[in-house]
Amino acid sequence: MIRLVFESSDPGYAITLGPAPLFRVGGNFIRQGPEKSVVARYRNHFWEVQERHFTRYDCLDSASIHFEDIAGDPSESFGPFVRFWVADGALYAERNLFAKFMEESLLWHCYPTDTYWPIMVITQADRTD
């Protein structure tokens, strides 16, 4: 299971989403799976979660990322990443710029493959034990 942690500029204030098996980030929404309920909305450069506003979220659990096209066909899977975070539409995995949400087109630019996708899916990393 994975969790997304949203932190505020208010010292010590954070909201954690999950644990859940996956999160789908598409357009201006984050949906928590498997039920796909909307748990966060992106408006005016802020993520709105439980009526609070955040500029960043972190995944502190080992997770993999893949992208999907409009038909639901997936890209290759990337990771697992021990930690990643999203700030101002840029996703950093293990301290490297990995993807950027292009607000004008509502597409994710995946830098390793130089491809564009409407949906990013964050899943629990496969265990190798």
Cβ–Cβ under 8 Å, residues 34 and 124 = no
Is residue 44 scored above 90 in pLDDT? Answer: no
Strand runs labelled E in 14-110: 14-20, 22-26, 29-32, 37-43, 46-49, 52-54, 56-59, 63-68, 78-81, 84-87, 90-93, 96-102, 107-110
- Residues 20-46: what's their mean pLDDT? 92
Q: What percent of the chain has pLDDT over 70?
A: 97
- Give the single-character DSSP code of 86: E
Domain ranges of the chain: 2-124
Question: pLDDT digit string (tens) for 54-87?
Answer: 989 999 899 999 999 999 999 999 999 998 999 8
47 CB-contact burial (10 Å; exposed 0-12 / middle 13-18 / buried 19+): buried
pTM reported for the whole predicted model: 0.91
